[in-house]
Each structure stands twice: as C-alpha cells, then as structure tokens.
C-alpha cells in the first residue's frame, strides 16, 4: 500500500504541447513553469519541454534552479527582478526579465556592472491594472531600452488579458484595442499577449509569442463550456493524484466518522480510508460529497479531511478493499470537477500539492 503520489504523464504533456502548436501555428512558445511547474516538478517538466523556444518562471530562484539542473533554453522572468543587485545574475544566467515598472527600467538603464546586455520584455498595462507601464509612456520606455547598451536588441512588447477565460467579456476587446494601437505606434520587432485561455479563445494569438501554462498540464483554461470537438476538449491531464485505501470498515446507522463527528450515516454502510490529507495538499475544506474515484466508481467524501487521510462512503454493497488505489484527480476524475466541488480553481489544487507527495514520471 502507498500514501499519496502523483503520476505525471509525460506523453500527455507532449500531446498538449502538440495541440498548442496546432492552435498557434508558427508562433514561438514560452512554457510557463512557475510554482514548481504548477505542482508537476520544475526541472523534470523543463527537461520534457526541450523543444519550446523559452521557459517562463515567476521568481529568480526558479530560474536559477533550472540553470543548476542543466536547462539551457532562454528563461523569461515573468515578474522581473526585485532588486538592481540581481541584474548581473540575470546576465550571467541568460535570464530575460520582464520590466513592468518604471523603477526596474531606470535601474537597468543606469546599471554599470552588467557583463552582457540583457534580452528584456516590456510589459504594458492595457487594462488589467496589476503589472505594466502605462500605455502613454510605453513608447518612451521602449525607445530608451532599445538604445541602451545594457539591452540586447529591442524589447519584446507584451501585455496580459484580465478576462481571457471568458471569451465574451467586454474587457477583452478593450485590452486588445489598446495593445493593437501600441503595436502600430511602437512597431516592435516582437510581441506577446496570449496565455492559455487567450490562446484557446483566439484572443491575441496572432502575436509572436504565446505563453501557455495551465493548458500544458491538460486543464481547460476557459470558464465557458467548450463546444464539442473544440480544440480545448482534447487536452489531456498530466497529473494523476493517487493514494491507496488503507482501511475499510462497516458502520451502523447513526455512527459518525472523523474529527468533530460532523457526519453520521443514515443507514448501515461501509467506509474507505484513503491515505491522503491536507498534509499532502488535498483541500481541508473539501465538502461532503466531493468525489473520489476508486475502481471505476466515484464515491463521496464524508467527514472532515484530516492531515493524512480522508474517508469515503463506499455504500453497503461495495467491493472496494484495502490496497485498492483511489484517484483524487486526473484522467479518471478531472481536477476541474474537484475544484468546483471545493469552490476553488484548478490552479490552486495543482500548486498546493505538498513536497511529501512523490512525483513519478
């Protein structure tokens, strides 16, 4: 028997990458690997994506871990640098920062200790109002960076859509209009707008670089139901989060289970105890009824999620036995389904998988 492990299907990852290339023919791809490759294992996923044109991470430590692991592809630092002292480290590691604030640009322009000019990305706030320079100052900064000896060539002009997961949201057309006008005014040599959701919603996928994250891992990034045979429906989940049943027991009507005795059975039934809990990243607030897949059947979660185990109601006639494997999400039980039950998003479930969960490729 085994406690929680995540089986990572690299064939599914390769399939998803092919699908993304079909969705964005001729475009260059930044595979987004932030947050430990969305819980899938940073270095190993990077190795499996050796054909993409660049890798994207959020923090410098992630970029340095990839370099330490022997990854040689260009790395884009999506939140940029946090201190000017990091600039020589970026130059030495061929790490490309996204510049999203005036202080970063000014620090780069004024720095005198960079051994090699940096390839940089200039992020513009087209309406998300989170990161990015103001549109009316974008041309000024683009020209200043292009003329700087600290910058290798011209920046890549980029932005980010706030509502790409809802293809019909009015915010999309507004942001696309702002970005399109900037491209006309600045005439950048390279551009980027589309993340996973925008890519499959065909919003901004015409620009040079696409930045898939969630879709690489086989998760539907769109909030609206996709039509049958839509490309997004062919994504395959890469992570299968599993754990074994370590105990079964019969209980009578009125018996309770778990901490707080919050659930009691209305009728005699059998329970299965699965070796996974919030210590493994399974959500503690998962409600009664959250599905758990065992031997082709989805059984409802009952009682409180504990640190190391959960309980499912197997029913009076169940044939589930000790040693059978449960799937918490994956090919048999989409993580999107579990996320809806829990009241969260797939990103959170994937990223919260704990270090003690073994990743098997």
Helix axes 102-110, 135-147, angle to 10 degrees: 10
353: left (phi over 0), alpha (psi -120 to 50) or beta: beta
Determine which one of 140, 259, 321, 340 is catalytic. Answer: 259
Kindly calculate the radius of gyration of the chain based on its CA atoms and give it in whole angstroms: 23
- From residue 105, give the alpha-carbon distance in Å to each of 64, 133, 137, 222, 288: 22, 10, 12, 34, 51
| Most distant pair of Cα atoms in the chain: their distance | 77
**Nearest residue to 224 via CA among 174, 160, 172:** 172
Determine which one of 27, 34, 119, 123 is catalytic. Answer: 34
259 noted as active-site residue: yes
28: left (phi over 0), alpha (psi -120 to 50) or beta: beta
**Distance from C-alpha of 334 to C-alpha of 328, rounded to nearest angstrom:** 9
DSSP state of 333: S
- Within the chain, residue ranges assigned H as helices are 10-23, 34-39, 42-48, 60-68, 87-93, 102-110, 135-147, 170-186, 196-200, 335-342, 346-351
Would you say 50 and 73 are in contact if contact means Cβ atoms under 8 Å apart?
yes
Lookup: tokens for 309 = 């185990």
**Distance from C-alpha of 37 to C-alpha of 56, rounded to nearest angstrom:** 10
Catalytic annotation, residues? 34, 259
């Amino acid at each position: 028997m085994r406690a929680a492990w995540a089986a990572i299907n690299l064939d599914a990852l390769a399939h998803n990458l092919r699908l993304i290339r079909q969705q964005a023919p001729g475009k260059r791809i930044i595979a987004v690997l932030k947050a430990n490759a969305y819980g899938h294992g940073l270095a190993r996923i990077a190795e499996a994506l050796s054909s993409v044109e660049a890798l994207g991470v959020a923090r410098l430590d992630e970029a340095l871990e990839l370099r330490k692991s022997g990854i040689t592809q260009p790395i884009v630092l999506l939140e940029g640098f946090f201190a000017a002292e990091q600039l020589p480290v970026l130059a030495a590691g061929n790490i490309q920062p996204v510049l999203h604030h005036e202080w970063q640009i000014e620090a780069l322009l004024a720095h005198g200790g960079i051994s090699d000019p940096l390839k940089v990305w200039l992020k513009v706030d087209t309406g998300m109002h989170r990161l990015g320079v103001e549109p009316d100052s974008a041309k000024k900064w683009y020209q200043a960076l292009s003329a700087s000896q600290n910058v290798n060539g011209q920046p890549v002009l980029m932005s980010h859509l706030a509502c790409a997961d809802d293809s019909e949201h009015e915010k999309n057309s507004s942001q696309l209009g702002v970005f399109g006008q900037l491209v006309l005014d600045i005439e950048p040599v390279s551009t980027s707008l589309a993340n996973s959701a925008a890519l499959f919603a065909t919003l901004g996928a015409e620009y040079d670089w696409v930045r898939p994250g969630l879709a690489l891992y086989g998760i539907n990034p769109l909030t609206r139901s996709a039509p049958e045979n839509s490309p997004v429906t062919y994504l395959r989940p890469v992570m299968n989060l599993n754990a074994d049943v370590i105990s079964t027991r019969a209980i009578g009507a009125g018996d309770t289970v778990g901490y707080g005795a919050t659930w009691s059975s209305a009728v005699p039934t059998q329970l299965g105890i699965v070796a996974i809990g919030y210590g493994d990243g399974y959500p503690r607030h998962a409600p009664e009824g959250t599905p758990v897949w065992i031997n082709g059947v989805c059984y409802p979660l009952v009682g409180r999620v504990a640190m190391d185990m959960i309980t499912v109601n197997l029913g009076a006639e169940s044939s589930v036995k000790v040693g059978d494997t449960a799937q918490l999400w994956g090919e048999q039980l989409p993580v999107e389904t579990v996320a809806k039950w829990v009241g969260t998003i797939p990103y959170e479930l994937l990223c919260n998988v704990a270090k003690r969960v073994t990743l098997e490729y």
